[in-house]
Amino acid sequence: MPDFVKIKNTISNYNRKIFVDSDKSLSIRWVLLASQAMGKSRAYNLLNSEDINSTINCIKKLGIKIVKKNNICEIYGKGINGFIYKNNITIDAGNSGTCGRLILGLLVASKKKIRLIGDKSLSSRDFSRVTLPLRKFGAKFFPQNKNYLPISILGSEYTKPINYFEKIGSAQCKSCMMLAALNAPGKTIIKAKKSRNHTELLFKNLNIPIKIKKSGAFEIIEVEGKKNFRSFNYNIPGDISSSAFFIVLTLISKKSKLIIKNVNVNPTRIGSISILNKMGANIKIINKRSYKGEILGDIFVKSKKKLKSINCPTDLNSSAIDEFLIIFLAASRAKGISFFKNISELNKKESPRLKIASKILNKMGVKTKLSPNSIKIYGNPSLKLSKKIVVKNFNNDHRVFMMSVVAALSFGGEWKIYNKNCVNTSFPSFINIAKSLGAKII
Ligand code: S3P
């Protein structure tokens, strides 16, 4: 089977309702927290993707029983740090930064050395952003000053709570410290720039002692450690980050309408909708309801002929961090020059996304001005492609692949896009959903 797709036609108009795959952030957090609960937890519609399988396999290797049947997953937790495993085991986070970073938090009191590995992409991502503060809890890392995987962790019998300042707006760093705090007696205090808050909502829902105070652009989060909690069931909703590809496809295609059902529209995740609406889209969230502290809803979007450029407010960066690639595509269609700034974090994802997005846009004939932490996109509302475009060598980054498919389906041209299997990390149904809307993808 070739590892590429070919697309030669833009998508015809459609008027449809779809479901996207389940929320990746929530799925990983459910697995990790269920492993620390007392007793059997059950998830319905856990995302069935490689990142979640990596998480499940790590937790299984740490001695926790996990049973998956159809769309149900059961985890038999043994309480905080209830892991049982042999000496010198290796756990593999695969492509998942969230799994790799969050799981280290759970291991600050591990009694034996555990080696953490990941794939080529994950092995080029900085882990010092979590290993440095985790040392303050008492954990040791080997080799001592190595910032990249593979890395080994040995926990401490005498963990202590810490004060931690999270300045980047990284939910992975914040959540890692919150999970570590479960293992430390007393109060861990985290001052964190606002970012997705699923871990906080789960802690509240599980009655884990947590207090959150606002402090300007920051939040002060206090977690009281060493308090066991009961098992819990969860029905995982759809992922807004996966939805974003179909939102933009609909927006920049012709005369189409789409409803995406049952999506997690947590306010800390919907920056992409705010940004696109500021650009003139009219995306609506309907049937809003709350579920275990999260907000769920259906997303309604229709095609928009005229989009405006945007000088994107930086306070939306964190809530749109995984959606910028697809937002850049909308900006390519907009009238005027769009400017996105303070986004150097994008170059630290599964691939250097800012650089790669700029290259793809240039191949399409869209002018960009790139700096290490910003991009200007010179939009062209009448851009239609007829040339051949090949997209490869993008570190197997799922979101680069999906952005390229949406570009091909909406701007035209003859595209050959490599690494089609990389969607399996976050959104295995992506191609099938696109086909169900009428996309011709070979
Ligand atoms: C995630 C946080 C984000 C995001 C990633 C998922 C999470 O990373 O890019 O895809 O589930 O906590 P950072 O926290 O490093 O920004």
Band of residue 360 on the pLDDT scale cut at 50, 70, 90:
very high
Average pLDDT over residues 163-180: 98
Same domain, yes or no: 189 and 248: no
Q: How many angstroms is it from 98 CA to the middle of ligand 1?
A: 6
User: Do 145 and 194 share a domain, yes or no?
Assistant: yes
Is 195 within a domain?
A: yes
**Torsion sign, CA atoms 272, 273, 278, 280:** positive
- Residue 310 in any domain: the answer is yes
Query: What pLDDT, in 10s, does the model give residues 66-124?
Result: 999 999 999 999 999 999 999 999 999 999 999 999 999 999 999 999 999 999 999 99
Q: Which atom of ligand 1 is nearest to the CA of 172?
A: 14
* Residue 319 DSSP SS3: helix
pLDDT-above-90 percentage for the chain: 98
- Domain assignment of residue 442, yes or no: no
Neighbouring C-alpha atoms within 13 Å toward the C-beta of 242: 29
DSSP 308: B
Q: Read off the pLDDT of each residue in 401-420 and give the average, rounded to a whole number.
A: 98
Residue 182 domain-assigned (yes or no): yes
How buried is 248 (Cβ within 10 angstroms: 0-12 exposed, 13-18 middle, 19+ buried)? Answer: buried
Which DSSP letter does residue 185 get? S
Give the position, in ligand 1's atom list, of the atom nearest the Cα of 24.
11
| pLDDT of amino acid 62 | 98
Pairing of strands 151-154, 114-117: antiparallel
Q: Where are the alpha helices (DSSP H) in 291-352?
A: 324-333
Helices (H) and strands (E) in the chain, counts: 12, 22
**Can 322 be counted among the known catalytic residues?**
yes
Burial class (CB in 10 A: 0-12, 13-18, 19+), 89: middle
Domain that holds residue 208: 24-226
- In this predicted structure, the answer to whether residue 1 has a pLDDT above a threshold of 90 is no
Query: Which three-class secondary structure state does DSSP give residue 67?
Result: strand
Distance CA 356, CA 366 (A): 13
| β-pair type (218-224, 257-264) | unpaired
Query: Cα–Cα distance between 401 and 48 in angstroms, integer?
Result: 19
Q: Is residue 231 part of a domain?
A: no
Distance 175 CA to ligand 1 centre (A): 10
Which ligand 1 atom lies nearest to the CA of residue 168? 16
**pTM attached to this predicted model:** 0.98
Instruction: Flag whether 345 is in a domain.
Output: yes
Which CATH number do you get for residue 301? Answer: 3.65.10.10
Q: How confident is the model at residue 314 (pLDDT cuts 50, 70, 90)?
A: very high
Q: Are residues 55 and 197 in the same domain?
A: yes
Ligand 1 midpoint to CA 232 (Å)? 23
In this structure, the residues whose C-beta lies within 6 A of any atom of ligand 1 are 25, 98, 170-172, 175, 196, 321-322, 345
Q: CA angle, corner 153, sides to 147 and 155, nearest 5?
A: 135
Q: Centre a 10 Å sphere on the Cβ of residue 128 and count the other Cβ atoms it contains.
A: 13
Distance CA 196, CA 379 (A): 30
Digit-coded pLDDT (tens) for 296-305: 999 999 999 9
Claim to verify: residue 14 and residue 35 sit in the same structural domain: no
Same domain for 281 and 365, yes or no, is: yes
Asked if residues 96 and 125 have their Cβ atoms less than 8 Å apart, the reply is: no
Sheet holding 89-92, edge to edge: 89-92, 114-117, 151-154, 140-142
pLDDT at 402 over 80: yes
Q: Around Cβ 90, how many Cβ atoms within 10 Å?
A: 12
Q: Kindly give the pairing relationship between strand 336-340 and strand 367-371.
A: unpaired
Examine the domain organization and report whether 201 and 294 are in the same domain: no
Q: Give the total number of structural domains in the chain.
A: 2
Give the model confidence (pLDDT) of 249-284 as tens digits: 999 999 999 999 999 999 999 999 999 999 999 999
> What atom of ligand 1 comes closest to residue 322's alpha carbon?
9
Catalytic residue among 21, 92, 322, 397: 322
Q: Is residue 202 over pLDDT 90?
A: yes
Q: Is the previous residue joined to 143 through a cis bond, with omega within 30 degrees of 0?
A: yes
Which of 161, 193, 226 is the endpoint of a domain? 226
Dist. CA 196 → ligand 1 center (Å): 8
> To test ligand 1's pocket by mutation, which of 98, 128, 175 has the most ligand atoms within 8 angstroms of CB?
98
